[in-house]
Amino acid sequence: NFMLTQPHSVSESPGKTVTISCTRSSGSIASNYVQWYQQRPGSSPTTVIYEDNQRPSGVPDRFSGSIDSSSNSASLTISGLKTEDEADYYCQSYDSSNWVFGGGTKLTVL
Amino acid sequence: EVQLVQSGAEVKKPGESLKISCKGSGYSFTSYWIGWVRQMPGKGLEWMGIIYPGDSDTRYSPSFQGQVTISADKSISTAYLQWSSLKASDTAMYYCVRQGDPDYWGQGTLVTVSS
C-alpha cells in the first residue's frame, strides 16, 4: 500500500502559473498512471488529466500533467490562471485494482 | 456522450437499509469498470470499491469491505451501492465513476442519516 501526498493549499494570481505536486510514498510513481480531478465548490469532480499527461476533450491546454521519477511525484501545472480555476484538485493512482486518492489541494486564485 | 446519472438525495434513519443507483449511457456499459467514491462533508475523496458490469467482478477497499455491497444490472446499464444498516457516519455524498480514458463522474447522491 502507498499514499499520495498533496499540499493542503496553494494560491496564485490570475494570469500566473501554479504547480500542484502529488508525491507517492512507496513504489515508483511511474508504475501506475496518475489522474487529476478538479472539483469546484458544490460540484462533482471532473477529470482534467488522465494517464499522467493526457487531457480529455474540452479541457484547455492550460492544464498539463507530468511525472518525475527523481522525486517520485506527479505534478499538475495550470498556466494563465483564471478565477474559474479556483477549485479543489485531487490526484489519483492505482494500487493493484484499488484506487488511491491524494488528500486534495485547494487552489485559490486571488 | 458518456453520462452517469445517479439517483436522488436520500434521508434515512440509523439502522435503515438503502440502495442508490448509477445509470450509464453513451458507451458500452459492460466494457468499463464503475467505481464508487465517498466524500464526507468538507472532506476529501475516498475510494470504496469497483465493479466490472460485464462479469460482475467486484473489488472493495479494505475500509469498506463488509460495510457496503456493490452490484450491477447490465440489462438496464445500472450500478448500485447498498447498505443493510445505515449509521450516522454514512452521511456523505456518494459518486459513481466510470473508469477509463478518461474517467467520467456522476453528479453525486447525497445520503443523510439522522435520527
Give B-chain residues touching A54 at CB under 8 angstroms: 101-102
Q: Which residue, among B32, B40, B103, would best test binding to A if mutated, counting the most A CBs under 10 Å from its CB?
A: B103
Average pLDDT of chain A? Answer: 96
Is 90 exceeded by the pLDDT of residue A97? no
Count of all residues that appear for chain A in the document: 110
Q: Which residues of chain B have pLDDT under 70?
A: none
Name residues whose C-beta falls within 8 Å of residue B49's C-beta, 6 or more positions apart in sequence: B35, B36, B58, B59, B60, B61, B64, B65, B68, B70
pLDDT of residue B35: 96
Instruction: pLDDT band for A41, please (50, 70, 90 cuts).
Output: very high
pLDDT, average across residues A69-77? 97
Q: Which residue, among A2, A32, A33, A44, would best test binding to B if mutated, counting the most B CBs under 10 Å from its CB?
A: A44
Cell numbers for B1, please give them. 456522450
pLDDT of residue A95: 86
pLDDT tens digits for B57-89?
999 999 999 999 999 999 999 999 999 999 999
Kindly tell me the burial class for residue B64, based on how many C-beta atoms sit within 10 Å of its own C-beta (0-12, 13-18, 19 or more).
middle
Cell numbers for B92, please give them. 456523505
Give B-chain residues touching A35 at CB under 8 angstroms: 102-103
- Characterize the bridge pairing of strands A98-101 and A46-49: unpaired
Give B-chain residues touching A8 at CB under 8 angstroms: none
Kindly tell me the burial class for residue B101, based on how many C-beta atoms sit within 10 Å of its own C-beta (0-12, 13-18, 19 or more).
middle
pLDDT of residue A1: 85
Instruction: pLDDT band for A49, please (50, 70, 90 cuts).
Output: very high
Evaluate whether A99 touches A45 at the Cβ level (below 8 Å): no
**Distance from C-alpha of B110 to C-alpha of B3, rounded to nearest angstrom:** 18
